Amino acid sequence: MIDYIEGHTLLINKPLRWTSFDVVKKIRNTLRTALNIKKIKVGHAGTLDPLADGLLIVCTGKFTKRINEFQAQEKEYTAEFTLGATTPSFDLETEVNETFDYNHITEDMLKTTAESLTGNILQTPPIYSAIKQDGKRLYEHARKGEDVKIKEKMVHVSKFEIIKVEMPKAHVRIVCSKGTYIRSLAQTFGKNLNSGAHLSQLTRIRIGKFELSQAIDIQEFIDSFSLTNNPATEH
């Protein structure tokens, strides 16, 4: 029996192009209907961009008090970096704005550059992000074409591995601290290779001890309430 009102932690495989809030909203509405209640607390523990998929922790009821605890845990991602081109958003949200030569880049260079971006590193968040500065989200400044100086922050990258190379694409695995922007890592990676790069695919596969293999799809969660005499509906 799952008591969603008292509190529960859900591991969701966030679909591509859904916002993290889309997932929260769908779960909240499903629970309100299934449990015949007007209100229930639901929140996620760590935003995934719409163009990323993978593990999203969603908390209900009193378990929403644990969101900060989950957000602080180590994250693991698999990603695809496309070399030779940059975008203003550092990913596919915006169009390519500059191209570069990448024929000089070898696999050894990729590995050496990845290793150089491990440990404690200063990172500049992308302007197309939800971080607040001067009372506004950075993406609000970006969409108005405003020039804004973005504050650097310290993050920790414990692993940055090259999994496979299919030029101009490099497939990587990254283990990092809370607040690390993989998009920014891609941008710096390309710059350090005397070229350019942007994030073209991202999947979060782990948060702390929780793994993507344990997660369920949104539709699977919704379908669980269609079962006859589901204990979760007995409130």
Structure confidence at residue 151 (pLDDT): 81
In a domain, 34, yes or no: yes
- CATH number, position 166: 3.30.2350.10
Do 38 and 132 belong to one domain? no
Is the whole-model pTM more than 0.85?
yes
Do 202 and 215 belong to one domain? no
SS3 at position 197: strand
Do 40 and 79 belong to one domain? no
How many structural domains is the chain composed of? 2
In a domain, 54, yes or no: yes
Per-chain mean pLDDT for the chain:
91
Do 22 and 129 belong to one domain? no
In this structure, the chain runs to a length of: 235
Domain assignment of residue 118, given as a range: 75-207
In a domain, 2, yes or no: no
How far is Cα of residue 100 from the mean position of the Cα atoms in its chain?
A: 27
SS3 at position 180: coil
Residues 78-90 have pLDDT tens digits of 999 999 999 999 9
Do 100 and 214 belong to one domain? no
- CATH number, position 48: 3.30.70
Catalytic residue among 3, 22, 49, 53: 49
Structure confidence at residue 162 (pLDDT): 98
Structure confidence at residue 229 (pLDDT): 43
Whether 139 shows a pLDDT value over 90: the answer reads: no
d(CA 188, CA 211): 27
Do 88 and 134 belong to one domain? yes
Is-catalytic flag, 49? yes
Do 91 and 187 belong to one domain? yes
Do 136 and 28 belong to one domain? no
